[in-house]
Amino acid sequence: MPLRSGLKIDFSFSIQTKKNSSKRNDRYYNVRIYSNEKNNKMKNSEHLYKAISERILVLDGAMGTMLQRYKFEEEDYRGERFKNWEHPLKGNNDLLSLTQPQAIEEVHRKYLEAGADIIETNTFSGTTIAMADYHMEDLVYELNYESAKIARKVCDEFTAKNPEKPRFVAGSIGPTNKTASLSPDVNDPGFRAITFDELKIAYKQQSEALLDGGSDILLVETVFDTLNAKAALFAIDEIQEERKIKIPIMVSGTITDASGRTLSGQTAEAFLISVSHLNLLSVGFNCALGAEQLTPYLETLSNNSDFYISAYPNAGLPNAFGQYDESPEFMAEQIKEYAEKGLINIIGGCCGTTPPHIKAIADLVKNYEPRKINVII
């Protein structure tokens, strides 16, 4: 059974589990014990809220797009530590935070150099649910913790160079590969591959590790099933109560196509209502659509929300080969409409975007005022 991470660790349980575990998991348990000693105050929140009230903040671009350029093969994913792992590991990008940390750090650095204010951790699939595909459930805490540490290190370097432009770490929490609202079996529409409670436990473990590693924000992103997102938000709210902290939370949904709905069938306004029970930092949309196609849905959020609004669209729609063709200049021109209409507070890029895309966007939005709201911290 996967361990739950967090502040309350039963040392006898950890030692017993370690004794029965394989050598490859020893570091995992050591990290979990160490995390119990962390200071859990969100020390950068004041700087974050000040920055977002003054200017449009720039989020980074695609991690996966950049990692594809390294052309990593199976042995690169394995590294020395996992060279004898019994299952294939190629494609497990989250694992690269352990086996190729220099590449993850390099990608973060390029986005910060391009002008990003916020960088996402390399943890999109960092739950026990998603890691089950690689039989790496026991490594989830370490994967998230180390990923956050890498991002924290680079952000702190850039903030030290220019304290007037502080940089922030957003802990990336993806949707998992199972959905609480939809059946994966067309012949059994009532079947569910996952329960709300199972999702909540998995998201809580991931969230605690991201916070322990130094994340300033928790970003529940690419939400195609709002019930999954609500499980994540429930878990994060539990952490807020247990640690007596206020966590800046970003929620970003995905409109799947021209129907204007998420995969689970919600309109933009319904999605907003469904996640508005918490005091979020921001709500927005990412992925699936290009900047131009996303505009009407951002308008809906902007007209109906008291939260800050985020957007990080793809570099256009994919071509016949699954590639994204929009140049940095063309994408920035599409995003100009967001800025001119006062729709956004956070802007970045998703699939197909690169540091040049983020630089073009950063150069554009620095000339525009952010969307104004009455914020309650």
**Hey, which CATH number is domain 41-365, 3.40.50.1000, 3.20.20.330, 3.30.43.10, 3.40.50.300?**
3.20.20.330
- Two structure tokens written together for 100: 């190729």
Q: Is residue 153 packed enough to be buried (19+ CB in 10 Å), middle (13-18) or exposed (0-12)?
A: middle
Global pTM value: 0.88
Place of tokens 């497990």: 92
The rounded Cα 218 to chain-centroid distance in angstroms is 7
CA distance 243 to 240: 5
pLDDT (tens digit per residue) in 32-44 = 433 433 445 788 9
Coil/strand/helix, residue 328: helix
pLDDT (tens digit per residue) in 291-319 = 999 999 999 999 999 999 999 999 998 88
Query: Is 250 a residue whose pLDDT tops 90?
Result: yes
Averaged over 264-283, what is the pLDDT? 95
pLDDT (tens digit per residue) in 168-221 = 999 999 999 998 888 888 888 888 889 999 999 999 999 999 999 999 999 999
Contacts of 339 (CB under 8 A, 6+ apart): 56, 347, 364, 365, 367, 368
Nearest to 7 by CA among 52, 55, 39: 39
Residues paired with 119 in a beta bridge: 169
Residues paired with 120 in a beta bridge: 170
Q: Can you give the pLDDT at residue 20?
A: 34
CA distance 207 to 201: 10
